[in-house]
Structure 1
Amino acid sequence: MEHKPHRPSCAQRLREDAADRGEPVQETAHRIHAHCGVTLLRAHRLARGLTLQETADGLNTLGARYEAAPRADGDQLGHWEKGRQPRPVTVDLLCEFYASTAQDLGLRGSSQSSSPDEPPAEERAPARRPQQALTPAVAPRRAADTVPLSFEQQIDAARRSVDRTLAVGTVTPTQLDLLDEQLLWAREQYVYTPPAPMIEILLGHLFEVEDLATHRQPAAVQVRLSELTAMIATLIADALMKLGHLRQAQSWYATARNAADDSGNTELRARVRAQAAMLPYHYGPIEAAVALSREARILCRNRPTPTAAFASAAEARALAKLGHAEGAEAALRQATEIFERSHARADTGKDAFAFPERRFLLYMSGTLTALRRTAEARRVQESALALYPEKTGIDPALLHFEAALCLAHEHSTEEACQLAAATFLRTDPAHRTPIVEERAREVVEVLPPRVRGSRVARELREILALPPGQM
């Protein structure tokens, strides 16, 4: 460029004008490139409102999956933006991050278009642990003109897109009401639909909300859009957790908290945190589950709401799993009192964001089972199972696994393993996700070491190791 590049504030004005017009980010980047006299690579960063360090952090997070990916910092990125050519593998990473081609970024080629002697990028990437496949239709629409993305890349690209649009904030009340209706329908579906197809449905709703949120909205409208985003992101995170995609689940829970905080809705902020506590409860660290549920309880300020009961019950269950009996019992008493005052017992539980009696009993069962109060836990499990409809998700299976844990605590090894195996095999294959496998394995793990090699324990482990089609 012969003329002196314009200041970043000029690009900011162009970006804001483009957002008001609903202009695609790729077009905005080329507009900034032509008007401000900066390289295409820098124009793409400025079109997204990112700093050098934010972009470097994003590249490093994205590149963590690839063995050959270099570590980037703000200084290096600045050199690339001034015309220095990155290595081919770095070009690949930049293309993926910006959902653009190398030509769009003003760079020469990439490792995916390298010489015949050099293996393609996907062959150089380390093999990843196989995960349950999802429908390819979840790919973000903005990346449609790029090379096909893997499932992990699709999920990460969608989440980053949501995070970028949350801060940008003309929608009619009718449009908002329709979005509310669609999400309520999805929340009802979520109660019984397997997580893999549910993610595709939720991402479709999310893109609709995001399209509206990318434009400047009146404050009241922006609040409702942020609330919708928080609820959808929470359900996506929960579905990813069930499927065993833990890193992405954690990121989506963070996005949900970001959206809930942006809405200013205290009840929703608490609910998202209580829901997010499920991830560390099941996969660790348990201390994080205690912290999240406790934060949710504090946000509720002792109001007798279903969310407050949920938060206290989640805190009790996590404390019990940590072995803090006194704290768990106190939290459970508080949860019981709040639940009774909240009138949530009358809730039918058709909504994924409800906290009906059967879910309260599920959390009570988890607390009592961890405290080894097996007789009480068994009564609670039976009461909860009687409340579940025929068409439901994995909660009944979780209750049966807890019943198996109670048997294991009572040294009834054979009955415990048989119940866990029968529960696992009885679960609908579409719902037989990694979280169900983990709960079944927990039954073996709590057995005394001397009996873990018994015939029934071996048979349970063999069932869990079988491929789905051979069960």
Structure 2
Amino acid sequence: MAERHPASCAARLRDRAETEGWPADQAAATISQCCSVGLLRAHRLAQGWTLQQAVDAYRTMTRGVARAARVDQEQLRIWETRPARRPRAQTIDLLCRLYETSAEGLGLTGDYTPPTTSTAPVKPIPGLHRNPAPAAPQPAADALDQILDRTRHGVDRTLARATVSPTQLDLLEERLLDLRRQYLVTAPVPTLGLMLPDLEEIQLLASERQPATVQMRLSEMTAVLATLVADALMKLGRLRQSGAWYATARAAADDSTDTDLRARVRAQAAMLPYYYGPLTTAVALSREARILARHHLTPTAAFSAAAEARALARHGDTTRAHEAIQRARDAFDRASTGDPDDAFAFPERRLLLYLSGALTYLGHTHEAERVQTRALTLYGSHGGIDPALIHLDQAICLARERHLSEACRLATSAYLELPPGQRTELLEARAHDVLSSIPERMRSAPAARELGEALALPTSGK
């Protein structure tokens, strides 16, 4: 089955048809061929009608027509998407009149020839202004049987109808996996431009009735993309929008049956309050994620525990932070790490990034240094925000060890070595944490002033 194009493609063809004066049949045939839709649907798109607008036009045209079929959005969608479900002959004739074409032009049977430009009056539709003839009475049992059969057929059609094929879903998931890989090496602003068109396409499919299994897959894809959008916005310092997108991601994840995904989205969402507050929210979200993932031997269980450890350590809850660190290490040892180049994986280097933050705020500078060195070795030439965050943790440790000038120089180089597109509000906020770790009387030292000047440069979120 060919992949259907977005509605904007039909709109562009419709505009061209109007500009160049194409006949209705030519416009519909072009849309049908280009967008991989049936001729009946193509005629509606050529008119620029939604399903409801087409139904309203049909009802207006057939008002008072004896025995005219009652058509709603559901019925019209079935005729458009399931060629085997053809309307009866009289209804085909009415649809031909609605779109001013022949039944062949609609891909159906029957015929109707639109009026010519002659000045002769148009012959009215038979029975247009007459009251419908009363239906012949039927025995009660027969009527019940008809209602039962009609209702069952309607339910069967609804359950069987879908506007997306398994192949389309597989292709969407392949594109999504590619986006997850690109996310790790692309700056936040361009990565938003890559993700939003695919998210719009997924929502277009999800807005139409789909079988439950298809709907769940679309919800899962929505949860992943919404999480990455929220993360990019967080890095840019757009906190209100980031929080709203994280809420959308959680709602989409909860619409699926994937408990691991529900946990993952919450652990990811905990980053926003970890960096910007309140820390109590970061602790609550990461704990909720850890509870959801506790019976699963997946990287998400390790991620959730590591996120909780980092939030607890920064919040000053030393005992529970140590317990969470141990849970994270134990869970990681039991789980398969997956593809390290996938933004939704949790390889060792990401675990060490989180443990770096936890150990830094616990004041275990020597252990933190070992973790940071190992993490930077694993990142290697992998540029981006994560290695810079580890360098800033190192700078905070140096400041706490009273190596103030060295701390400021390390923070300055970590910040400035990033390309401008990745020098985001998040990095600026984290570098300000380094300055906050320095006694106020020492902030006028040359290295501290140099760091302050670097932070005054524009970020990609401004």
TM-score range, shorter chain: 0.5 to 0.7
> Structure 1 residue aligned with 2:283, among 279, 290, 301?
290
SS of residue matched to 2:379: coil
Give the letter for the 2:208 counterpart: H
**CA positional deviation for 1:468:** 6.3
Shift of 1:300: 1.0
Which of the pair has more CA radius of gyration?
2
User: 1:70: which partner in 2?
Assistant: none
| 1:216 to 1:426, Cα distance in 2 relative to 1, 3 A | same
Point out where structure 2 has 5 or more consecutive residues left out of the alignment: 1-40, 61-72, 74-161
Q: How does 1:146-225 map to 2 (within 5 A)?
A: 170-225=163-218
* TM-aligned CA deviation for residue 29 of structure 1: 8.3
Which residue does the alignment assign to 1:125?
A: none
1:235 lines up with 2:239 in the alignment:
no
1:302 partner amino acid: H
**Does residue 375 of the first structure (1) align with residue 366 of the second (2)?**
yes
1:311 CA displacement = 0.2
2:249 equivalent among 238, 244, 256: 256
Matched, 1:400 2:385: no
1:99-178 alignment, distance < 5 Å: 170-178=163-171
Q: Which position in structure 2 is the counterpart of 1:460?
A: 451
Equivalent runs, 1:241-280 vs 2, <5 Å: 241-280=234-273
How far apart are the structure 2 equivalents of 1:205 and 1:324?
41
Give me the whole-angstrom Cα distance separating, in 1, the residues matched to 2:364 and 2:202.
46
Shift of residue 453 of structure 1? 2.6
Task: Give the Cα–Cα distance (whole angstroms) in 2 for the partners of residues 440 and 269 of structure 1.
Answer: 31
Distance of 2:48 and 2:251 partners within structure 1: 24
Structure 1 unaligned runs (5+)? 1-17, 37-46, 48-168
Partner residue of 2:86? none
Counterpart-to-counterpart distance in 1, 2:242 and 2:371: 30
Separation in structure 1 between the aligned mates of residue 190 and residue 390 of structure 2, nearest angstrom: 24
Please state if 1:335 is matched with 2:328: yes
Matched, 1:226 2:219: yes
Corresponding residue number in structure 1 for 2:300: 307
Structure 1 residue 382 displacement after superposition:
0.4
Distance, in Å, in 1 between the alignment partners of 2:451 and 2:57 is 61
Q: CA deviation at 1:25?
A: 9.8
Change (3 A) 1:186 1:389: farther
**Distance in structure 2 (CA, Å) of the matches to 1:240 and 1:33:** 43
Aligned equivalent of 2:401: 410
- Cα distance, 1:448 vs structure 2: 1.6
Aligned pairs (5 A) from 1:32-111: none
The amino acid across from 1:182 in the alignment is R
Q: Which amino acid aligns with 2:392?
A: F
Q: Shift in Å at residue 220 of structure 1?
A: 0.4
Question: 2:273, 2:56 → 1: CA distance?
Answer: 43
**Counterpart of 1:247 in 2: which secondary structure?**
helix
SS at match of 1:352: coil
Q: CA deviation at 1:450?
A: 2.2
1:363 aligned to which of 354, 358, 372: 354
The aligned residue for residue 147 of structure 2 is: none
Name 1:349's counterpart in structure 2.
340
Give a deviation string over 1:25-57, Cα, whole Å, max 9, x none. 988589889999xxxxxxxxxx9xxxxxxxxxx
Q: State the distance in 1 between where 2:349 and 2:425 align.
A: 23
Q: Count residues in correspondence.
A: 317
> Residues 443 and 24 from structure 1, CA distance in 2 versus in 1: closer, same or farther, beyond 3 angstroms?
farther
2:431 to 433, 436, 440: 440
Q: 1:296 to 1:32 in 2, by over 3 A?
A: farther
CA shift digits 1:312-342 (9 cap, x unpaired): 0000000000011101000000110010011
Q: Which amino acid aligns with 1:340?
A: D
Alpha carbons of 1:420 and 1:361: their partners in 2 closer, same or farther (altered >3 Å)?
A: same
Q: TM-score scaled to structure 2, two decimals? A: 0.65
1:420 equivalent in structure 2: 411
Q: How many Å separate the matches in 2 of 1:285 and 1:196?
A: 26
Q: Contact 2:384–2:418 (CA<8 Å) still a contact in 1?
A: no
Q: 1:284 to 1:326 in 2, by over 3 A?
A: same
State the alpha-carbon separation in 2 of the partners of residues 24 and 333 from structure 1: 60
Alpha-carbon distance between aligned partners in 1 of 2:273 and 2:48, rounded to the nearest angstrom: 38
C-alpha RMSD of matched pairs (Å): 2.6
Q: Report the residue type matching 1:363 in the other structure.
A: Y
Give the superposition deviation at 1:394: 0.7
User: Does the 8 Å contact 2:309/2:320 carry over to 1?
Assistant: yes
For 2:459 and 2:254, the matched residues in 1 are separated by 40
* Matching residue's letter, 1:421: T
User: Which one-letter code corresponds to 1:335 in the other structure?
Assistant: A
The 5 Å alignment of 1:2-41 reads 28=52
CA offset at residue 443 of structure 1? Answer: 0.4
C-alpha distance in 1, partners of 2:403/2:208? Answer: 61
CA 1:31–1:384: 2 relative to 1, 3 Å: same
In 2, distance between residues paired with 1:254 and 1:468?
A: 26
**How much does 1:389 deviate?**
4.2
Q: Which residue of 2 aligns with 1:154?
A: none
Secondary structure of the corresponding residue to residue 181 of structure 2: helix
Q: Which residue of 1 aligns with 2:134?
A: none
Separation in structure 1 between the aligned mates of residue 51 and residue 213 of structure 2, nearest angstrom? 30
Distance in 1, matches of 2:233 and 2:372, equals: 26
Query: Deviations for 1:166-206, whole angstroms, at most 9, x for unmatched residues?
Result: xxx92211010000000000000001110101111110110
Q: CA 1:459 to 1:277, structure 2 compared with 1: closer, same or farther past 3 Å?
A: same
